[in-house]
Amino acid sequence: MTRLYPAEGPLRGSIRVPGDKSICHRGVMFGGLAGAFSTIRGFSGGADNLSTIGVLRSLGAVVEQDGKTVRVRGGALSSSPTPLDCGNSGTTMRLMAGLLAGLGLESTLVGDASLHARPMERVAGPLRERGLRVDTTHGRPPILVRAGGSFVTGEVHLRVASAQVKSCLLLAALGRQAPLTVYEPHPSRDHTENMLRAMGVAIESSPHYAHPGASEGPAWVRMEAHSTPLNPVTIDVPGDISSAAFWLCAGALVPGSRVELPACGVSPTRAGVLEALATAGVCVTRRNEVSSGGEPIADLCVEPGASTGMTVPAEMVPRLVDEVPVLAVLAARLPGASIFHGVGELRVKECDRLAATLRLLAACGARAEVQGDDLHVHGQPGVPFRAFEFDPEHDHRMAAAATIAAQVADGVSTVKHVECLAVSYPDFLADLEALRS
């Protein structure tokens, strides 16, 4: 149990959050498909990204790490005679299933107990429909990838917008040197398309990806046939907006705060948290906006401001799904009701985050309920959270959300298993202390 004390004053300072976890995963994987060294600068030291490095090394890629700089050279990857350990990382497992199947490499993907409870047919099923040989264990890990099968080109229509499923299919098509078009009901994260494009692959996408939510109709990505190895690339990884979200919400919660977050990724397909905060009237300013490797980057600054309840539509959820728990913590202190539509995906994360969010809010004395796949939070502005005890079930996002809630509690709160923060943000508590001092 870790004791967490409420903030005694405003949170102030500048925090450089870890490199974007999604981009780091892809940089290592795609670097493993290049014929010369690719360089990834600003690499996150989180356990999930280290799992991806371990898997690529097991397949024969050369991966060198010096602090926050990683160099990867792939070339001829080969099947692994021993299971590939993905740790707690669903992104590693789901994307690697497509990469392995596309290259025709026989391997078994395993992970920890939490990962083995997560659904994997969402990638295995579409891969089998493309003619590839991928099996799960009653719908969950381990995933067995076998050689053979003929890739079926054409169009894939996904029922749910998912960057992991989309990326898995694109990697499989890339390995088979086959063209493929993927349709989604709403735009999902486009890091895969941006990086493959930078590495020489011909990819087109619909305008929805540049301006998600701007118009109706499905989003699409079309990739032409392309052979490996890919062109090597140098990547400057922006700060992870999912990690930044905790400080954005903390800055909005604690009176008088001013938190600066330099060089964060603000891709429209990823930064739905900024849209949600804007609808609530939270003041987040952007400065020094640039683009690197197809990824938009900006310095962010948050200060408390006039605010109201927020309404998050279902089509926005793919762009902020990891941020819903901490946004719900903020919503519990805003005037009026907040509604998060279509957040059923939270049930199949590292834990059932929908149920865990309800437990956390109840422990704080806040009011919330779930109706179908919608989360309703009833704001109580001016009412401090009561000191609480909370078990995040080893889920790093829930542990971080609870830590932020503890900053505005009326006494000392306790949170179990905060060591799980190392999955994505090893220095989270140290950065919090820096803002409090």
Q: For residue range 222-241, what is the model confidence (pLDDT) as tens digits?
A: 999 999 899 999 999 999 99
Identity of residue 420: C
Q: Which residues are catalytic?
A: 322
Which of 180, 115, 114 is closest to 143 using CA atoms?
115
Dist. CA 189–CA 28, nearest whole Å: 17
Has residue 347 got a pLDDT over 70? yes
CA 52, 58, 61: angle at the middle one, nearest 5? 80
Mean pLDDT for all residues in the chain: 95
* Chain-centre distance for alpha carbon 377: 23
Q: What is the pLDDT of residue 404?
A: 98
Beta bridge partners of 172: none
Going edge to edge, which strands form the sheet with 295-303? 12-14, 258-265, 295-303, 283-292
Domains of the chain listed by start with CATH number: 2-18+238-436 (3.65.10.10), 21-236 (3.65.10.10)
Dist. CA 119–CA 255, nearest whole Å: 41
Which of 338, 344, 265, 262 is closest to 302 using CA atoms?
262
Beta bridge partners of 368: 377
Dist. CA 432–CA 404, nearest whole Å: 9
Dist. CA 322–CA 272, nearest whole Å: 10
Residue 207, both tokens:
């305008």
Calculate mean pLDDT across residues 356-369.
98
Q: What is the pLDDT of residue 215?
A: 57
Residues in the chain: 437
Q: What is the pLDDT of residue 211?
A: 81
Q: For residue range 268-309, what is the model confidence (pLDDT) as tens digits?
A: 999 999 999 999 999 999 999 998 878 999 999 998 887 899
Q: Assign 216 a pLDDT band (cuts: 50, 70, 90).
A: low
Q: Assign 320 a pLDDT band (cuts: 50, 70, 90).
A: very high
Residues in Cβ contact with 350 at an 8 Å cutoff, skipping those fewer than 6 apart: 88, 90, 114, 118, 393, 394, 395, 396, 397, 398, 423
Calculate mean pLDDT across residues 44-61.
96
What pTM value is reported for the model?
0.94
Which of 220, 219, 156 is closest to 186 using CA atoms?
219
Q: Assign 161 a pLDDT band (cuts: 50, 70, 90).
A: very high
The region that residue 213 occupies, defined by phi over 0 for left and psi between -120 and 50 for alpha, beta otherwise, is left
Question: Which residue's structure tokens are 């499905």?
Answer: 218
Question: Which helix or strand (DSSP H or E) is residue 47 part of?
Answer: helix 47-58
Residue 105, both tokens:
């490499």
**Is the separation of the CB atoms in 283 and 251 below 8 Å?**
no
3-state secondary structure of 288: strand
- Where helices occur in 7-46 by DSSP H, the ranges are 21-31
**Beta-sheet pairing, 84-85 with 107-110:** parallel
Calculate mean pLDDT across residues 160-184.
97
Question: Which helix or strand (DSSP H or E) is residue 273 part of?
Answer: helix 272-279
Has residue 214 got a pLDDT over 80? no
Has residue 213 got a pLDDT over 80? no
Residues in Cβ contact with 8 at an 8 Å cutoff, skipping those fewer than 6 apart: 436
Which of 112, 59, 115, 48 is closest to 82 using CA atoms?
59
Dist. CA 350–CA 421, nearest whole Å: 12
